Each structure stands twice: as C-alpha cells, then as structure tokens.
Chains A and B, each alone.
Chain A
Amino acid sequence: MPDPHAEHFPGRIHQPPLVANLEAIQPHDQIELPHHPKLQHHFDDMAQQIEASTLGMWVFLVTEIMFFGGLFAAYLVYRHANPEGFAEASHHLNVTWGAVNTIVLIVSSLTMALAVRSAQISAPPKTQVAWIGATMLLGATFLGVKAIEYADKFAHHLVPGPNFRWEGKHPAPAEIFYSLYFCMTGLHALHMIIGLGIMTVIGIMALRRTFDADYYTPVEIAGLYWHFVDIVWIFLFPLLYLIGGHFTE
C-alpha cells in the first residue's frame, strides 16, 4: 500500500500484509452499516456484544469470589484454632433472623430470574418492573433484618473494640469471631446495597421500554450479580450462625 513517508526510509523492507482484506487497513471515512440501536461501535454484531458482556460479568464474579475468599480463609484459620470459642460465640447469633434472611434471599433470586425471563420474552414493561421491584423489596427486607441484628449486637456489647464485653468462657476467640462476623456480613451487605443500586438503574431502564427479546443483556448480567450475592449468603449463614449445633446445646 502506498505510504506517504516511504521515501524517508529507503531500503526499509516491507513485509507482506497479514490480512486478506486490505480495505481493513486503508485510510478511510467511517461507514455506518445498519445495526441494532444498542450495538456499541467497537463490536461487530449484537452476538459478540452479548457474549462479551456476559463473559465480563462472569470474570468480575470470579474476582468477587477471591475478594470474599480472603475473609473465608481468615475464618477457616481461626475456627480451626478455636473450635469451641467460635461455637460459643456463634450461639449468640439469632438463627431465626438468619434463616429468615436466607429464605428472603432465595426467593429474591427467584424473582430476579423471573425478571430476566420477563425481559427475555418481551413481557410488558409493567411486568418486568414488577419482578424487579419484588426483588428489590426482598433485598431491602434483608438489609432491614441485618440492621435489626446489628443494633442488637451493639446493644449487647458484641461489637469488637474497646466496648466489647464477653461473659462466656472464650472471650478472645469471641472477639475474633465477631470481627469476622461484621467484616463478612458487612461486606456482603455492602454488595447488597450496590445490588439495589444496580436494580434501580435496571428498573428505570425497564420502565423506559429498553428491554425485549432482542436486547436484555443488562438484566441478565444484573441477575448474575444478584445470584452471586445470594450464594455468598448461603455460605455465610451456616458458617456464622450454625456452628456447634444450635439444637444440641
């Protein structure tokens, strides 16, 4: 191909091109081909865009697993070192509230899946928003229960730090347990709050008739995120609330 500056570099060899379609590397004006309104210009087609977005969310969720993983590792190490201390500390958590929250989240994953489905089948925006709203309501319920639990911990001097008081036999492991409890559930709650933010955005987009069978990727990847936050709780609940067999005191 003609190179305007070639005469400045005599003797420089040019290798044959690696591409078959030379027009790809020619100087040009931008050509606009007909495409879906939501197609971003750096993608070739919607299929590529959808695949990329989905893979991106999966990779992000892997990073989240590693993020929580550090806390799970610390938990593993300390529980192994203090099995009785952790069991004793765990008894002060309210299993009922924990179980309620678990059910709330599982149901919210159901409503989330139905939200994705409603977009996928081009259901009317009202329906989509209803499912999204139900999911958000359940998420907010979860946070409300956690607020109640946290307030209770605060009142009973179970927040680690200078005001921590422990009447049982294993005060040091208990303080470590509650440090981990607040870090792990706190980080999880933060993710829940972010999830509610994401769902707000998705809800608004759904209201504006953005989603239909041809384009519902944002709902789908929001769903992936929501399910992940749910699964983290499924691990947190038994590890924090059910140590040492609550029912065989």
Chain B
Amino acid sequence: METLNYLNNGHGLKSWLLTKDHKRIAVLYLVSITLFFVIGGFFAMLVRLELLTPAGDLLTSETYNKMFTMHGVVMVFFFLIPSIPATLGNFLIPIMVGAKDLAFPRINLLSWYIYVLGGIFTLVAALSGGVDTGWTFYTPYSTAAANGHVITAALGVFITGFSSILTGLNFIVTIHRMRAPGLTWFRLPLFVWSHYATSLIMVLGTPVIAITVLLVAAERALHLGIFDPSLGGDPVLFQHLFWFYSHPAVYIMILPAMGVISEIVQAFARKNIFGYSFVAFSSLAIAIIGFLVWGHHIFVAGQSVYAGMVFSFLSFVVAIPSAIKVFNWTATIYKGSVSFDSPMLYAFGFIGLFTIGGLTGLFLAAMGLDIHVHDTYFVVAHFHYIMVGGAIMGYLGGLHYWWPKISGRIYSEPWAKFSALLVFTGFNLTFFPQFIAGYLGMPRRYHAYPPEFQVLNVASTLGASILAVGYVIPLIYFTYSLVAGEKSVNDPWGARGLEWEIPSPPPTENFTVSPVVTEGTHQYVHPSQEVGLA
C-alpha cells in the first residue's frame, strides 16, 4: 500500500491546477520551464545553423533577427530567471526552514499562472510574426522602427515580471517569519541564503524593468515620445532604465545556482562548507553591489567618463565576492570525502566554467578594453559561460541532486554521467571559439559575417549540436525514472539537511509539527561517532 505523499495526495487535473502545495507548484513550474527551455533552444538552433556559413543563406535577415531576439527573450525571462527559484526554491525552501509551506501559498500559485500568461503573450508575439529588437528592446528602434510585435512581447515580459516579484516576496517573508524553532539565520543552508539574496533583487529590480517595457509599449502604441530624440527624448535613458534591472537580473540567474553548488559540494564531499559566513555574506554583497554597476553596459554610448569610472570600479568590486565563493568551494574539497556522482560532476563543471565566465567579465569591466569587445561575440561568450556553463549546470546539478526527493525515484547514474560529459564538452566547443571571434571583431547579432570567421562559427555550431544532445538525454532518463526507476530512500546520498530527514517524496505538509532544530549546517559525522571529526 502506497504511503501518502504530495504526489499521490489528490488526483486529477484540478488537484494540480488549483493546488496550494509549494511542491506541486514547483512541479508545475518545472514542466513549463522545461517547455520554454526547449522553445528557446529551438531558436538557438536556427541561429547556429544559419551561422555555419558566412552568407545569410538559410533565413532571411528579418527572420534571423527575430530568432536571436526570441532566443534571448525566452531564455532570459522564461527560463533562466525563474528556473532554480521557481522549481528548486519553491520545493525546498519551506522544507529547509522547517515550515509546512511558503508564507503565501495562493500567491505562489498565482505567480505560476502569471508566468504562464506572460509566456502565452510572448508565444503569441512569436507565432504572429515575431519581434526583432533583440531581447534588450533598445530605443528608438523598438519604439519607432521595429517591424514586429513589440507591444505584445513587451507586455509578455511585463506580465511575467510580476511572477518573479511575487516569488521573491514569498521567499523573503517565509525566510524571515517561518523558520522553525532553533533555526537561526546562521544555521540556514546556504541554498536559503542565496535565494534570500536573489529575492531581494527580484523584489527591488523587477519593477523597474516592468515600468520600462511598459513605457516602450506606451510609446509605440500612443506615440508618447519619452525616448524619442526628435522631441528631446534620450534613447540612452532607456538603456539606463533597462540595465538598472537587467544587470541585477543576471545575479538573479546565478545566485541560486551558487546556492545549489554550495549544497552539492558539501553533500558530495561529506563536509561542511569552508567559510560558511563568508559564503553567506558574499551572496548579499553580490546582490547589493550588483545594483550599482549597470553603467558598464553603456561605456561606449558617450556617458560621462567619470560616471563610467565609477561603474567600472564597482564592476571589479562585485567580482570579489564571487571569487570568494569559488575559493571556499575549492577549500571544502580539501580533506573531504569526495564522490563523483553526477550532481558533483555538474558542480565541478560549474566551478570551472563560472570561473572562466567571471574572469572574462573583468575584461568587459575594464573600460579601455570594453571599447573593443563591446557588442562583439566576446560578450556573447562571456555571458553564455556564466548562464550556461554556470547557471544551467547549477540547475542540472540541482535537479539531479534533489530528483530522488522530488520524484521519489532514482535516475540512471551512468547515463547521467555521460550526459554531464557531453554537456561540458559541447558547451566549451560552442562558446570558447566565440571569445576568439569576438576579439577578432565579429559583432553580435550579425546574420552574415566576413568569411574569415567561418572556422570559429563552424566549431561553435558543432559544439552546440553536442550540447543539445547532452540536454535531451536527461529529459529521457528523468521521465523514464518516473515510471520505471528504483524507489528512493529518505536520503539516497547520505547527505545532511532537513529535506533528507523526511520521506522521498515528502508528505504534503512536510512536517507534522514544527521541527525543533538543534544544529546548523552540515557537520558530517562518521557513523561510529556522535559528533566531531572523522
């Protein structure tokens, strides 16, 4: 007889679509986010296929421009920003703080519906002809000249922003007010710290892009002229408003992944993190300083060089807390007991690739160097190293680590290792050549390019094909595990944490009564001892 857990507690579509259980909502998000990842990947595939040859011979210019725009819009707003927080965060944060649910379960469900509605708007924009402004919607092209469904797409982004805001709001209140007795801030898992910092950004930054895209839509629909140069409007003002959110947004995309890595490294080295408070505070530092660096996107637009210097200085400073995390993760491995299960492989991949991505960000922060590489493939390579080599590997690592908890099933470890390898190889082959192409001068968003860039582009497309296979395989074995996978125990990994003390999958209300927590983070003990060193 099957024990009651959140998956079998209530059957039928209505019990899912009207659920208030944070775990079911996390699964709803998981499904829709995966769908958007596939859509965004489809657009990427068309871009990379076109770029196999220097001439623009696969797609028309207009179509190509729509492909890279839609790739960016879907991947940024509908995949990367919600991915870890809305799936893993939603699932785990209540459990990790010892609560029965988030503070506002109905608002949690509402956030999913808002996400879906925003997604529908964007898909409608795509299917009825597409948008070709780039995901950055720069004015005056987007307000005056673009020939596409800018308003629909802008509204799609606007609507989805509220999903992000409500998620962040929910997390902040939950972490402040719903921690179980004995669970002080410094006993919280680092996953929770990183999501707290992420939520601060979600809540403070997202409203600014909401109003910004709304102004673009208004200007386009009502001819308001706030960014119209012929009225004395300033197109660069749009860039300031846009990047005021969109730079912190990249920290929304990476901080949760960093939280995942902290958890995985501890679990698979069977060792508590080296420098817990430094890692915890570094998340907050990144969130705060991250709000002060947006001008590094605008160095060559002619803003005051002194303003530029402030932004450049702070952009270098914001790299330091990230470096601190990388050093602490590495130090955690030292004298650990390291196993190379697939989540750990993803964590290693993350640390290496995020380091490269972060270091190349420094290249862009150096003003004199940015002149040359701004708006080239160097930037494209940089952010894909962080977003794909970093955030997506963190997401995959987290999915693998917590899959037994979420589904109650074990996936195929050999296949998981194989696809991790494919992902790592494919990723580097796709994006490393782009650093070279960028420094050579190949601009981004180019439909056709001079022939001397072809070898690098062919290598990149080849890598993307391998990467795509690496992403498809987990879809298969995760699905397979749901129907035929071995059932999991409470803690299949021998890891430490509140989530590993309850069944896999957990019961709907997580805990019967509030757990009283007596110790903090993840001191690992040998079975033969009570506490202390192995």
Residues of A within 8 A of B (CB): 1, 3, 5-6, 8-9, 12-21, 23-28, 30-31, 40-44, 48, 51-52, 55-56, 59-60, 62-64, 66-71, 73-74, 77-78, 81-82, 160-162, 172-173, 175-176, 179-180, 182-183, 187
Contact = CB atoms under 8 A, between A and B. Distances in A.
A74 B236 CA distance: 11
A31 B512 contact: yes
B159 interface: no
B498 A18 contact: yes
Contacts of B516: 19-21, 24
A239 B206 CA distance: 25
B514 A176 contact: no
A242 B204 CA distance: 29
Interface string B504-521: 000101011111111100
Given A15-B495, A31-B512, A69-B207, 4 more contacts: A48-B177, A52-B173, A63-B207, A78-B232
A74 B207 contact: no
Contact of B210 (A5, A19, A31, A67): A67
A217 to B, nearest CB: 13
A239 to B, nearest CB: 16
B262 to A, nearest CB: 17
8 contacts: A12-B494, A48-B178, A55-B176, A55-B177, A68-B211, A78-B232, A176-B226, A183-B215
Contact of A183 (B182, B224, B232, B496): B224
Contacts of A162: 223
Contacts of B513: 21, 23-24
B503 A27 contact: yes
A31 B501 CA distance: 20
Which one of A42, A68, A180 has the greatest number of beta carbons of chain B within 10 Å? A42
Contact of A3 (B215, B489, B509, B526): B489
Given A52-B173, A55-B177, A26 B224 contact: no
B127 interface: no
A71 B207 CA distance: 11
Nearest to B493: A12
B177 A59 contact: no
Interface residues of B, number: 78
Interface in B163-180: 165, 169-170, 172-174, 176-178
A175 B225 contact: yes
A59 B490 contact: no
A176 B215 CA distance: 12
B246 to A, nearest CB: 13
A24 B226 contact: no
A175 B105 CA distance: 45
Contacts of B170: 56
A70 B241 contact: yes
Nearest to B487: A5
Nearest to B514: A44
Contacts of B274: none
A161 B512 contact: no
B301 interface: no
B527 to A, nearest CB: 5
B525 interface: yes
A175 B231 contact: yes
A249 B133 CA distance: 45
B375 interface: no
Contacts of B241: 70, 73-74
A24 B208 contact: no
Interface string B378-402: 0000000000000000000000000
A27 B507 contact: yes
A56 B199 CA distance: 13
A77 B525 contact: no
Contacts of B98: 19, 24
Contacts of A24: 98, 511-516
A21 B524 CA distance: 20
A197 to B, nearest CB: 16
A1 B501 CA distance: 9
A25 B514 CA distance: 9
B100 A52 contact: no
Contacts of B182: 20
Given A27-B507, A66-B208, A77-B234, A18 B489 contact: no
Contacts of A69: 207-208, 211
Nearest to B486: A8
A15 B494 contact: yes
Nearest to B101: A42
A31 B212 CA distance: 49
A9 B489 CA distance: 8
A15 B512 contact: no
Contacts of B502: 25
A88 to B, nearest CB: 14
With most chain B CB atoms within 10 A of its CB, the pick from A9, A20, A59 is: A59
B103 interface: yes
Nearest to A69: B208
A5 B489 CA distance: 5
Contacts of A176: 225-226, 231-233
B231 A67 contact: no
B223 A160 contact: yes
A167 B491 CA distance: 76
B158 to A, nearest CB: 11
B433 interface: no
B491 A15 contact: yes
Interface in B211-230: 211-212, 215, 218, 222-226, 230
A64 B207 CA distance: 7
A40 B524 CA distance: 36
Interface string B238-257: 00110010000000000000
A18 B204 contact: no
Given A19-B515, A59-B169, A60-B169, A42 B207 contact: no
Contact of A179 (B165, B208, B226, B496): B226
Contacts of B190: none
A27 B514 CA distance: 14
B468 to A, nearest CB: 34
B277 interface: no
